[in-house]
């Protein structure tokens, strides 16, 4: 087995995994906040719609959601998607799935803030948006950082599910090498890559949490 070729191929696959991870967080974190707002809406119909969305996305396997996003346009609408749609489908599937989880994390963080803080901000003349973004949100971020970190670490490992629609991420490449060489070495090497990635993410999130430690809660 040519280890140099193996490592270079796994590194190339890792770039795809990093891209999936980064784009998923980039879009699912703000989308999750919007979903949380909808979930907490006083409008019962709107709240129900988002409750159903969260229930479905959390209650069905991510791999199934990826297949629906990828094959759905053709089987349901008869639309032939371009070849590069595979990667786009992965991002859409991951974003929709993780937004549902982040929405519940946001909701728990927002609802944990004492009502008195809203009342005090109102007395001081803050608008609702100023109250949320200047007073509430920084505290919410501090509170939800540990569960968000857990979700981020889970996301790293979930990127391997992209193989379901033939996206060449790192695990797919490791599996191909292992099958061709009848060896466990590619899986061990991939495991090391995943661990290092997880370690870096954990350290970065820990650093952010430390920076926000001035919010005593």
Q: What would the DSSP string read from start to end of 117-185?
A: HHHHHHHTT--HHHIIIIIIHHHHHHHHHHHHHHHHHHHHHHGGGGGGGT---HHHHHHHHHHHHT-SH
pTM for the model stands at 0.89
Residue 55: Cβ within 10 Å count = 11
3-class DSSP assignment, residue 78:
coil
Profile the chain (217 residues) by mean pLDDT over runs of 10 residues: 80 91 96 94 94 95 94 85 88 96 94 86 84 86 90 92 87 85 86 91 87 63
Q: Which CATH superfamily is domain 3-211 in?
A: MetI-like (1.10.3720.10)
How confident is the model at residue 96, as a pLDDT?
A: 97
Q: Give which of 146, 147, 173 is closest to 159, Cα–Cα.
A: 173
How confident is the model at residue 36, as a pLDDT?
A: 95
Contact 202, 149 (CB under 8 A): yes
Contact 47, 203 (CB under 8 A): no
The ranges assigned to domains in the chain are 3-211
How confident is the model at residue 37, as a pLDDT?
A: 93
């Amino acid at each position: 087995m040519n280890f140099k070729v193996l490592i270079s191929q796994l590194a190339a696959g890792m770039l795809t995994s990093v891209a999936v991870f980064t784009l998923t967080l980039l879009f699912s974190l703000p989308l999750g906040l919007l979903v949380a707002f909808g979930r907490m809406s006083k409008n019962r119909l709107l709240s129900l719609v988002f409750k159903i969305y969260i229930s479905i996305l959390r209650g069905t396997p991510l791999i199934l959601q990826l297949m629906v996003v990828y094959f759905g346009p053709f089987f349901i609408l008869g639309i032939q998607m371009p070849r590069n749609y595979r990667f786009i489908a992965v991002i859409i599937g991951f974003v929709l799935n993780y937004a549902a989880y982040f929405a519940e994390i946001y909701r728990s963080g927002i609802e944990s803030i004492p009502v008195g803080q809203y009342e005090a901000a109102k007395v001081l003349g803050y608008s609702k948006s100023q109250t949320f973004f200047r007073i509430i949100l920084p505290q919410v971020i501090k509170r939800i950082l540990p569960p968000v970190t857990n979700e981020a670490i889970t996301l790293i490992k979930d990127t391997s599910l992209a193989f379901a629609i033939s996206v060449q991420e790192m695990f797919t490449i490791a599996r191909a090498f292992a099958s061709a060489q009848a060896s466990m070495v590619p899986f061990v090497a991939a495991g090391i890559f995943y661990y290092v990635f997880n370690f870096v993410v954990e350290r970065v999130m820990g650093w952010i949490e430390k920076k926000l430690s001035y919010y005593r809660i």
